[in-house]
Structure 1
Amino acid sequence: MTVLHGMTWEHPRGYDCQVAASQEYARRTGVEVRWEYRSLQAFADAPLAELAERFDLLVIDHPHVPRAVAEGVLAPLDGAGHDDELAALAADAVGSSHASYRHGGRQYGLATDAAAQVAAYRPDRLPAAPRTWEEVLDLAAEGRVLWPCKPIDAYSTLCTLAANRGTPVNAEPGTFLPEEDALSVLDLMHRLCEQVPSWCLDANPIEVAEALSTDATEPWAYAPLLYGYSNYSRAGFRPHRLRYVDMPSGPRGVAG
């Protein structure tokens, strides 16, 4: 039997699905894939060159693609006899999920999911999610809001809020964000940060989803911006189900 070694990230969404798919693949082809996993932080930060020396298959985040291509650690998937299948995947993809793994006219990865920032809440504790940021801040003042704002996730929030204002980052070459636009976004982020538990400063979206879906004593009921790990909306995955909804409305509604 041919054995391949794969590296993914540490969560049922990143690991369990790969294992299940590989079991079916082995049944059909006789090719076994043995998966290992790394932390979510390593998934976001760690360079791929070292992993590519040790593993045949990698589950990666799309921002890594340009550097990995420049270092020659990823093999292009197009031009290898499967272009019809790639075209079908591109046509069936959500938004830019398939295209985000394309670089320099070549395809270096396949989208296994699609990610966008959304809000989440506990329906058993909150009849409906806040619709505006002022409503979010009012709920946060009651101690009922969590927000994953470790640096990489605070950065994601900043980018989302800036785009929601109609002033996306890097809109002007050489300028990340004009000072006036940045201060408006940072003011809202600071106001929210003052109202959430201090541990949120070190929390990622999964840790917030875990707290919302498992805690039985704290009043936490809502998170305004995190990524939609759909496992938490499924019956039986955790003691309490989450419901994912649109982010709070801003100057451009829920766009951004």
Structure 2
Amino acid sequence: MRYAGLTWDHPRGHDALAASAGDLVHWDVQPLEGFESHPVDALCARYDLVVIDHPHLGDAVATGCLRPLDELFAPRELARWGADSVGPTMRSYAMAGRQWALPLDAATQVAATRTDLAGEAPATWDEVRRLAHRAPVALSLAGPHAFLTFASIAVAMGEEPAADPEELISHGTGRAVLDLMTAIDSLAPPESRSLNPIGLLELMAGTDRLAHCPLVYGYVTYADRVAFTDAPAVSPGGRPGSTLGGTGLALSTRCAPTAELLDHMRWLMSPDAQREFLPRHHGQPSARAAWADPAIAGVDFYRRTSTTCEQAWVRPRHAGYVAFQTAASATVREALAGRTDHGEALDRMRAQYRASRTPEGRRT
């Protein structure tokens, strides 16, 4: 039997899966933005295996399109993979008492720097602000990333968004975050504002028009041209504020998994695959042992960003969250462009979040 799988169109998302699948799985690809633009239930209607982002779990569980993996794998296996995974990657795919995906790939927002243009990466947000006055610095603002950057800075300031399920963030922290983002963005290269993380890293790696991005999802495939370090903190030694990314491997309800397919998934989570096969095929493993392995390709990337990944913030995963994330990002961009007062923008974001948790909000 040959299964149909869908992943994302980047060597990090595709190459290791395709190289290891043989005749078992045929992997199609979608653009990175497809995670936001295509409802997960529509994708699951067409594919047996789907690489997903954890914030889509709420919508997926609400529509009943994923097969819970705790029905297919033993509790001891799931517990071992969870204990072995870096940061909150495994638990980000657990919801409503079930495990819905395996953490195939680990990533979080970290700092990216061209040290020949900027010097050593700034460790604090005050240092980022000062650097922006002497070198080109950009925030990641395209698509959902405007809100993710907002959230990560809030974490660094000591407040995790949505800690109260009914309230996004306090007024004081929210205003401080928008003020800081505006100060940095007002000096940014204009072309950077429309670029997704891959576009920002391409601009940094291929030109001299971007020296530093304090928060961008890390890609080990750029580590030979860009220096990756932990995300900034508010004060030296403080928590590096970051929002967890990465991807998980899920099975749709249309999938009838054979023992061969389940064994293949076990192998993808194995030490051999995580420490050797995935890195050799442009993958970014989720196993903590791989991140700590001095022999792994891109070892400096993992060593210099592991603290951030271990402490990354996990986004809400209720049905309706993804639509909120899109709307809130548009609101952040309006505020940074000066088209909306910061207080008004914050009130709108808080209202958007509360609405996303209502039955009406889940249908938008």
Match of 1:11 in 2: 10
2:231 to 247, 250, 253: 247
Match of 2:170 in 1: 178
1:35 to 27, 30, 45: 27
Match of 1:227 in 2: 217
**2:43 is the counterpart of 1:51:** yes
Cα pair 1:147 1:208 within 8 Å, conserved: no
Letter of the structure 1 residue corresponding to residue 233 of structure 2 = S
Letter of the structure 2 residue corresponding to residue 146 of structure 1 = A
Aligned residue pairs: how many? 240
Letter of the structure 2 residue corresponding to residue 189 of structure 1 = M
Superposition map of 1:194-213 within 5 A: 194-213=186-205
Match of 2:115 in 1: 123
Supply the RMSD in Å over aligned alpha carbons: 1.9
Report which structure shows greater RCO (CA 8 Å, sep ≥6): 2
Instruction: Give CA deviations for 1:193-238 in whole Å, capped at 9, x if unaligned.
Output: 10111222222211111111112xx3422111111111111x4xxx
Question: Whole-Å Cα distance in 2 between the matches of residues 176 and 74 of structure 1?
Answer: 28
**Offset at residue 71 of structure 1 (A):** 0.9
Match of 2:126 in 1: 134
| Shift in CA distance, 249/106, structure 1 to aligned 2, threshold 3 Å | closer
Question: Whole-Å Cα distance in 1 between the matches of residues 72 and 231 of structure 2?
Answer: 41
**Offset at residue 122 of structure 1 (A):** 1.9
Structure 1, gaps ≥5 residues long: 236-240
| Shift in CA distance, 103/134, structure 1 to aligned 2, threshold 3 Å | closer
Match of 1:97 in 2: 89
Give secondary structure in 2 for the equivalent of 1:54: coil
Instruction: Give CA deviations for 1:150-188 in whole Å, capped at 9, x if unaligned.
Output: 241111111111121112222334221222221111000
**Offset at residue 114 of structure 1 (A):** 1.9
Give secondary structure in 2 for the equivalent of 1:111: strand
Superposition map of 1:14-25 within 5 A: 14-22=13-21
1:147 to 139, 156, 159: 139
Question: Whole-Å Cα distance in 2 between the matches of residues 131 and 163 of structure 1?
Answer: 15
Match of 1:74 in 2: 66
Match of 2:297 in 1: none
Give secondary structure in 1 for the equivalent of 2:215: strand
Letter of the structure 1 residue corresponding to residue 136 of structure 2 = R
Question: Whole-Å Cα distance in 2 between the matches of residues 10 and 159 of structure 1?
Answer: 26
Letter of the structure 1 residue corresponding to residue 159 of structure 2 = T
Give secondary structure in 1 for the equivalent of 2:11: coil
Question: Whole-Å Cα distance in 1 between the matches of residues 32 and 84 of structure 2?
Answer: 27
**Offset at residue 45 of structure 1 (A):** 4.1
Give secondary structure in 2 for the equivalent of 1:59: strand
Give secondary structure in 1 for the equivalent of 2:92: helix
Cα pair 1:150 1:201 within 8 Å, conserved: yes
Report sequence identity in percent: 38
Give secondary structure in 2 for the equivalent of 1:40: coil
Question: Whole-Å Cα distance in 2 between the matches of residues 124 and 32 of structure 1?
Answer: 46
Cα pair 1:121 1:244 within 8 Å, conserved: yes
Question: Whole-Å Cα distance in 1 between the matches of residues 130 and 20 of structure 2?
Answer: 44
Cα pair 2:41 2:60 within 8 Å, conserved: yes
Letter of the structure 2 residue corresponding to residue 199 of structure 1 = E
Question: Whole-Å Cα distance in 2 between the matches of residues 32 and 231 of structure 1?
Answer: 27
Question: Whole-Å Cα distance in 1 between the matches of residues 82 and 172 of structure 2?
Answer: 39
Cα pair 1:10 1:38 within 8 Å, conserved: yes
Structure 2, gaps ≥5 residues long: 242-364
Question: Whole-Å Cα distance in 2 between the matches of residues 32 and 172 of structure 1?
Answer: 44
State which drifts further: 84-93 or 48-57. Answer: 84-93
Give secondary structure in 2 for the equivalent of 1:16: helix
